[in-house]
Amino acid sequence: MTRSIRAFLAGALLLVIACGGEAEPAATEPSPQSGPTSTTTETAGQSVDVYFGVEGSTDCGEVQAYPRQVASDLDPIQGAFEALLSGPTQAESGATSWFSSDTANALRSVSLADGLLTVDLDDLSSVISGASSSCGSAALLAQLEATGFQFPEVQQIEFQFEGSCESFFNFLQMECSVIDRQV
């Protein structure tokens, strides 16, 4: 909610109270972005992008940006990954992802130091078991990488399952590696 709308509502509330009426709570409409895999309510704050696969694409690593709002008091990188892990909303038709309401609370932590972003997740291997295929791992990594690299201060990313880079990449049948930003 913008500052001017808040000021208007506060003024209207004072006017109603001054006139002897009782103020009723403002009705809120449900967010049009609640979808089949997650429910997301719009929060006043900052805009970030989440990246999901493109339905019908023959390129497993093709992603498209979808804007999301995260709370202004939340770290934008953390907010972006929380939104990504919640999966596409109904309004984001054409988006495909391994992420859904089943993975919504899987973010353990994000930390950024000297350009290296570390993203630690719960072990999702039993929840998104198909992501270990070659196409599945390309899709999963493309979504995670694009979401992280949208922030210019991020130069490298390390993904982990419960603090272990090896566990994350073993799940994808790959060796643990730090991913560098592509120029």
Q: Residue ranges of the domains in the chain?
A: 37-180
Task: Measure the CA–CA gap between 146 and 25, rounded to whole angstroms.
Answer: 40
pTM > 0.85: yes or no: no
**Sheet with 45-54: strands ordered across:** 63-71, 45-54, 95-96
Tens digit of pLDDT per residue, the chain (183 long)? 433 333 333 333 333 333 344 333 333 222 222 334 434 444 468 999 999 999 999 999 999 999 999 999 999 999 999 999 999 999 999 999 999 999 999 999 999 999 999 999 999 999 998 888 999 999 999 999 999 999 999 999 999 999 999 999 999 999 999 999 997
Strand blocks (E) in the chain: 45-54, 63-71, 95-96, 107-113, 116-121, 156-161, 179-180
Backbone phi, then psi, for 136, in 5-degree steps?
-65, -45
Backbone phi, psi, residue 85, to 5°: -65, -15
Residues 6+ apart with CB under 8 A from 76: 46, 48, 70, 151
